[in-house]
Amino acid sequence: MMAHHKPGLVSAIWSMKCPACRKGFLFKNKGIFPLSQITDMPEHCPECGQKTEIETGFYFGTGYVSYALSVMLFVVNFVLYKLIFGLSFRDNSPYYYLATSITIVVLLQPWLMRMSRVIYLYAFVKYNDKAQESAA
């Protein structure tokens, strides 16, 4: 029996791979365009056959994950903005920070939608060595 290399969790999530085998891509389109098809997923993982929608309405919970990711972006942007430009209520810097943060979150929204689905799916589907072997 040949030992298989277990793909890393963080790299598999970042590259939006199946949580069961960590090889199959979770979305039909690799790019974000057309935006109307951004969350289209195959019914099953093309590599191991893992079902991508575990039950009807499964992805309604991704709103919480998306919210957490957006808050994280606001906090990271706050720290970076404060370190680079500084924040003061004596000028308009808080408004510039807010405008920058909102712009970043709006521009990253397609990525946030996909990433929240991936993270949510990873919370409920565990890595499976057998799926890894069948994917090889």
Q: List the pLDDT tens digit at each of the 136 positions of the chain.
A: 455 677 899 999 999 999 999 999 999 999 888 999 999 999 999 999 999 999 988 999 999 999 999 999 999 999 999 999 888 888 888 999 999 999 999 999 999 999 999 999 999 999 987 765 555 5
Q: What whole-number distance in Å separates Cα of residue 42 and Cα of residue 49?
A: 10
pLDDT of residue 121: 96
CB 11 within 8 A of CB 116: no
State the residue for tokens 């000028």.
91
| 3-state SS string for the chain | CCCCCCCCHHHHHHCCECCCCCCCECCCCCCCCCHHHCCCCCCECCCCCCECCCCCCHHHHHHHHHHHHHHHHHHHHHHHHHHHCCCCCCCCHHHHHHHHHHHHHHHCHHHHHHHHHHHHHHHHCCCCHHHHHHHC
Adjacent-strand bridge partners of 17: 25
**Global confidence as pTM:** 0.84
